[in-house]
Amino acid sequence: MNMAAPVNTDTDTADAATLIAQYGDLQGKDLLEVMIRDVFKDRIALVSSFGSESAVLIEMVADIDPSTPILFLNTGKLFGETLRYSRILGERFGLTDIRAIKPDASEIEAEDKNGLLWTRDQDACCDLRKTRPLDREIVGFDAWITGRKRFQTDARADLDLIEGAPGQIKINPLANHGMEDLQAIAKAHDLPKHPLVADGYLSIGCMPCTRRVEEGEDYRSGRWAGTDKTECGIHIGENI
């Protein structure tokens, strides 16, 4: 493996390019290992929604260092099954630092007192319950790991394994993995499935904005169904 001393990053595009030049031949667990143990030691976190594909990435991280902070975006609108799944994976992999990232209570009171903002403005609801809470928490880290893959949406088709972002570097170790790759890893490692997958929920977000996927539909078609929305907001705008 291409190992080197930690680099001094100012977390801009140039730094991402430098990291790609050094480690661009790595992906998956190999990329994670050098980022967690060397480049960003004690300065990196995994951001997870504990959705249908989360177990693959979480197991990789846990096998490298189970004390790696896991920032769990608990929006207050998640399925109960997702909350239980987070506990199942935490116990299975011995995770010692799962941090439930919740929306600010005063902002909820001011902007979504009746809990129905999602019916009026889904982008505003995602901003309130996901983007802003993560923005407040992520400032303590120099880098964060995402579970995004190129096959998921057209907007992610050119996703880099390493990205520059204002304030942090994003690591996308599964960018090149297809659904068959993920399923093969899950089967080989006997990874627990999200309880809702068997019920037809193939990509799982918040309960009000996620539905079952019908036969023949794209696996993400159950997210924000009936709209042109494809991203919650944490990976667009200033977060790209």
∠ CA 173-167-46, rounded to 5°: 35
| pLDDT over threshold 80, residue 218 | no
User: What's the rounded Cα separation, in Å, for the pair 162 and 202?
Assistant: 26
Average pLDDT over residues 80-103: 96
Confidence (pLDDT) at 217 = 75
Catalytic positions, please? Answer: 232
66 closest CA partner among 91, 87, 88: 91
Average pLDDT over residues 28-39: 96
> Which tens digits make up the pLDDT trace of 188-206?
999 999 999 999 888 898 9
126 closest CA partner among 137, 112, 136: 112
Between 26 and 160, the more confident residue is: 26
User: What's the rounded Cα separation, in Å, for the pair 42 and 145?
Assistant: 13
| pLDDT over threshold 60, residue 240 | no
Average pLDDT over residues 24-46: 95
Residue 123, both tokens: 């982008």
CB 162 within 8 A of CB 44: no
Between 39 and 225, the more confident residue is: 39
User: What's the rounded Cα separation, in Å, for the pair 175 and 177?
Assistant: 6
216 pLDDT tier (thresholds 50, 70, 90): confident
User: What's the rounded Cα separation, in Å, for the pair 18 and 1?
Assistant: 17
Structural domains of the chain sorted by starting position, each given as residue range(s) with its CATH number in brackets = 13-197 (3.40.50.620)
Token look-up 């990291």 returns: 19
Residue 79: what residue type?
F
User: What's the rounded Cα separation, in Å, for the pair 32 and 212?
Assistant: 32
| Paired sense of beta strands 168-171 and 162-165, if any | antiparallel
Confidence (pLDDT) at 236 = 52
| pLDDT over threshold 70, residue 60 | yes
Q: What is the pTM of this model?
A: 0.85
Confidence (pLDDT) at 24 = 86
Beta bridge partners of 171: 145, 162
Q: What is the mean pLDDT of the chain?
A: 86
> Which tens digits make up the pLDDT trace of 156-189?
667 889 998 777 899 999 998 888 999 999 999 9
CB 123 within 8 A of CB 102: no
Q: At what angle do helices 179-188 and 54-64 cross, to 10 degrees?
A: 60
Percent of the chain with pLDDT over 90: 62
Confidence (pLDDT) at 11 = 42
Percent of the chain with pLDDT over 70: 86
Q: At what angle do helices 80-93 and 54-64 cross, to 10 degrees?
A: 30
